[in-house]
Amino acid sequence: MIDKAAPVSSRPSDLPPLHVLLAAPRGFCAGVDRAIQIVEVTLQKFGAPVYVRHEIVHNRFVVESLEAKGAVFVKELDEVPDDRPVIFSAHGVPKSIPAEAQRRNMIYVDATCPLVSKVHREAERHHETGRTIILIGHAGHPEVVGTIGQLPPGAVHLVETVEDVASLEVADPDNLAFATQTTLSVDDTGAIVEALRDRFPTIAGPKKEDICYATTNRQAAVKAIAPKADALLVLGAPNSSNSVRLVEVARVHGCTRAMLVQRASQIDWDRLEKIRSLGITAGASAPEVLVDEVLEALRQRFQVTVEEVVTATENVSFKLPRVLAAE
């Protein structure tokens, strides 16, 4: 782990100076930590191979690290032998998936983030009272597919934008509830919720915000450093919703030269030419080792000083599923 207390430089003095603004919180959230631990503990308990339906979290470095330990990642359940354990990803799955696993008498472990499961339960409760659900989210994202799959076809309407709200058609406008994907832009979602409430004044919402604490905190940290940074790097995967949102938030809040990179090897150094300040953060599924890797790459090219900008402290943790409890 790199000491961030510093000014640090071990390079010749003729290198240009660079002040790094390191966002905190950044990187792994409690749900991602739990999901990775679930794969590792399942491997310890049942031995390799252990199968995982879809990427356990959206990060190739994490996935490849788990593959090296004996995890096998598949797209669908029919690729998994009946006699091996299967894990469902942190994003959640439609109800039909565990139902099929039960039908086949498979050992399965649900790594769905508890905060995603909370959204599932909210949607189910509203459906039981006869409400139609409006889900704010991105079409095709695994979390959205999983949430819609908790209820019968037609019970959930997906909206992605304020414009979608304007064109939305529902059978009973006075009997609605909304829920949201947990990894959305806080600001964009607020505008969509406002549009929903304006058009459907009686719509019910969650008692507590669906966007998770980690998404909210990481966006707030980026808002704090973006106005001070000539450029900003977000460590994360292009299919990671929360990472992509961090790039968008940085651009809206004053740093137009914000970029998403998966590894230090992907940095476009030409775009960092002549900068004097650089923001760095990491999406909720990106490990800290990738941040360290980027800092080391920067030290090859700059005299680096690091300032960690802390906007929140996180102490959330989630228990492992009962099937993995120590015997």
Residue in 230, 225, 180, 226 with CA at minimum distance from that of residue 206: 180
- Which one-letter amino acid corresponds to residue 91? H
Residues 6+ apart with CB under 8 A from 257: 230, 231, 232, 271, 275
Q: Are 234 and 259 in contact (CB under 8 A)?
A: yes
Residue in 34, 184, 14 with CA at minimum distance from that of residue 109: 34
Dump the DSSP string for 124-187: HHHHHTTPEEEEES-TT-HHHHHHHTTS-TTSEEEE-SHHHHHH---S-TTSEEEEE-TTS-HH
Is 248 tagged catalytic? no
Q: Are 179 and 147 in contact (CB under 8 A)?
A: yes
Out of 55, 143, 169, 273, which one is annotated catalytic?
Answer: 143
Question: Which residues are designated catalytic?
Answer: 143
